[in-house]
Amino acid sequence: MRLIQLFVILISLGLTQASFSQTTSKPPLPIHLSLQRQKAFPGDVLRTDLKVAEAVQTLDVYFGAQKIVLQPQVNRDQWSGLVGIDLETKPGRYSLKGTITFSDGRTLKLEQGLQVLPKAFPVQRIQVEEKYVTLDPKAEKRSEEESKKLQAIWRSSTPQKLWQGRFIPPVVSQLTSGFGRRRIVNSQPRSPHAGVDLKATTGTPIKAANGGKVVLAEDLYFSGNTVVLDHGLGLYTYYGHCSTMAVKPGDSVVRGQVIGEVGATGRVTGPHLHWACRLGEARVNPLELTKVWMAEEPQASQKIQRR
């Protein structure tokens, strides 16, 4: 009888200990890195989401050499960011890769595949003043200096998200020249069209596509009077051929604010707005920005650290 009682006591202790271990051990939490689409074309902008129900210390995510900054979403165990597929990305299989470090020091590798599909861009032939095709030494030097200035802007990245809600087209207009077109200028091949041309009459107000900070507002050789807005997180929009500019470097703007007027300055065949976008240095179709959305950023106490 005593042996039976002892056996029952031992079993009870074992069950108690097993139950305690199960409730105190930390089960693995679900972590999922996803993309808005699994297939994309050159020039596309995709939203990426990271779902994780655990405190995050640092997060590093890259698409090739492009650093993707993810923002924590309000009241959700989710972070979101934007991925830009450059205009001249070759078809093939690519990956979004990253490393997440938790508050207790543990690290985890992340990866999500993406198929970039081939896209045939049309060829466009235009005629402009010869001085914009065969540059004299002075014009060539100016063009090179302006190019270096723009490249320095694209390589920089404001760590804060400066925009709110969806992006809007800067003018309501029909497209006169689409994104990615291969251009033949005065019978000479030139770089592909890294923006869109929106037809409008001279003097038509140009609105900021979203909130941001003016980082450039000056006359450039090829695009004439040009405004560049920094929206934060490596995202920039570019407004070329303006007749007038209503902002200056350092100004903060909100979505829909008038930043200039349509014109025909620089290398043009007529009045229009050249609207372009850079995302982490990738040349992407600015119209894609109107299709993606990110929730607003939570309070500072909810943010994760980034490197």
Give the model's confidence band at 29: pLDDT under 50 very low, under 70 low, under 90 confident, else very high.
low
Give 128's pLDDT tier (boundaries 50, 70, 90): low
CA distance 77 to 169: 31
Q: How far is residue 174's CA from residue 198's CA, in Å, rounded to a whole number? A: 6
In this predicted structure, the answer to whether residue 66 has a pLDDT above a threshold of 70 is yes
Token output for 41: 């074309």
Mean pLDDT computed over 198-227: 96
List the chain domain ranges.
31-119+299-306, 123-291
Query: At residue 19, does pLDDT exceed 50?
Result: no
Tokens of 154: 């694209």
| pLDDT value at residue 104 | 87
111 pLDDT higher than 60? yes
CATH topology of domain 31-119+299-306: Immunoglobulin-like (2.60.40)
Quote the mean pLDDT of the chain.
Answer: 82
Q: What is the model's pLDDT at position 129?
A: 73
Q: Does domain 123-291 have CATH number 3.40.50.620?
A: no
Who wins on pLDDT, 250 or 296? 250
Residue 120: pLDDT band with limits 50, 70, 90: confident
The per-residue pLDDT for 271 is 93
pLDDT at 275 > cutoff 90? yes
Does the pLDDT of residue 11 top 70, yes or no? no
The whole-number average pLDDT for the span 249-276 is: 94
| CB neighbour class for 36 (10 Å; exposed up to 12, middle 13-18, buried from 19) | middle
Kindly state the percentage of the chain with pLDDT values over 70.
Answer: 77
Q: Which of 27-36, 124-133, 217-226 has the largest mean confidence?
A: 217-226
Does 221 score more than 70 pLDDT? yes
* 3-state SS class at 11: helix
Least confident range of 89-103, 196-210, 283-297: 283-297
Continuous segment of H or E residues that includes residue 139? helix 137-155
Residue 192 has pLDDT above 50, yes or no: yes
**pLDDT surpasses 80 at 187:** no
Between CA 280 and CA 216 the distance in angstroms is 17
Q: What's the rounded mean pLDDT across residues 164-192?
A: 77
Question: With pLDDT > 90 as the criterion, what percentage of the chain qualifies?
Answer: 53
Q: Sign of the CA dihedral 128, 134, 139, 143?
A: positive
Given a cut of 50, whether residue 301 has pLDDT beyond it is no
pLDDT of res. 132: 67
Going by C-alpha positions, the residue among 63, 195, 39 that lies closest to residue 118 is 39
pLDDT band at 131 (very low <50, low <70, confident <90, very high): low
Using CB atoms within 10 Å of the CB of residue 193, give its burial: 0 to 12 exposed, 13 to 18 middle, 19+ buried: buried
Q: Does residue 8 surpass a pLDDT of 90?
A: no
Q: What is the pLDDT of residue 9?
A: 40
- Tell me, yes or no, if the two domains 31-119+299-306 and 123-291 fold the same way: no
Length of the chain: 307
